[in-house]
Amino acid sequence: MDKMYQDKVVMITGAASGFGAMAAQRFADEGAKLGLSDVNGEKLNEVAEELRAQGFEVVADVVNVADEAQVKAHVDNIAAAFGTIHVGINNAGIGHDVRPMHYLTTEDFDLMMDVNAKGVFLCMKYQIPLMQEHGQGAILNTASAAGLMGAGHLSLYAAAKHAVVGMTKAVADENAKRGIRVNALCPSFSATPMVEEMADIVGDRSGLSREDAYSHIASRVPMGRVSKPEEVVQAMLWINAPENSFMTGQAIAIDGGLSAV
């Protein structure tokens, strides 16, 4: 029996850790050929080599998603190896210091927009023509619950993620008749390196341990906990599945109810 992504080509950015690394394993387990990228070459190589050791086909490139030439070269490499891209998981992203906006800098703003918003734009810019050639494709942009609501002390991150949601809806509209679905995933706090770093910052400033800082962060979520990364990655598999063929232009919250209140 064929697996869910048998012989599909899946491109995942930010694949060296967190959601990206876990997604690479899960999509591979479901039969996908992988195009992986990250700015951290050492960790990316570890992920790619582990997958190759299991017999999976992987193209891996060190890519700064804010650099157009690097993104184009990566997409070209995937196309040269596998012929096309069926699924694009535009997952690479970064956070900023947890503090009110007036303490942040112009450099913080530029970095958030470059990586979190322009990076998604560039990936879609080069994924879509390949998908249009074959009349099919699915793109999932990792946004955030902060892209659906206000996020105090994370204002620039929220601004960039709102931009991701807006681009997602616009590009979904542009491509709905071309067989290409485009959605955004909006997780809240999850047990990933980014949230661990946030917990450390909160802990340092308040004198809390990481565990207590996690509890403080989790207290904002109606379900009373942060998510497990696998809960978010499972949503990635479902959203992009060929059987889920009528969903496009959506910003799907996986947030324990955070955006509902």
Given a contact cutoff of 8 angstroms between Cβ atoms, the answer to whether 164 and 120 are in contact is yes
Quick one: tokens of 69? 């030439």
Question: Which listed residue (5, 126, 157, 214) is catalytic?
Answer: 157
Q: Give residues with Cβ within 8 angstroms of 228, minimum separation 6.
A: 190, 191
Given a contact cutoff of 8 angstroms between Cβ atoms, the answer to whether 124 and 167 are in contact is yes
Task: Provide the 3-class DSSP secondary structure of residue 81.
Answer: helix
Given a contact cutoff of 8 angstroms between Cβ atoms, the answer to whether 30 and 4 are in contact is yes
**Residue closest to 192 by CA, chosen among 62, 23, 3:** 23
**Residue closest to 38 by CA, chosen among 79, 80, 92:** 92
The residue whose two tokens read 């379900």 is 223
157 labelled catalytic:
yes
Residues assigned a catalytic role: 157
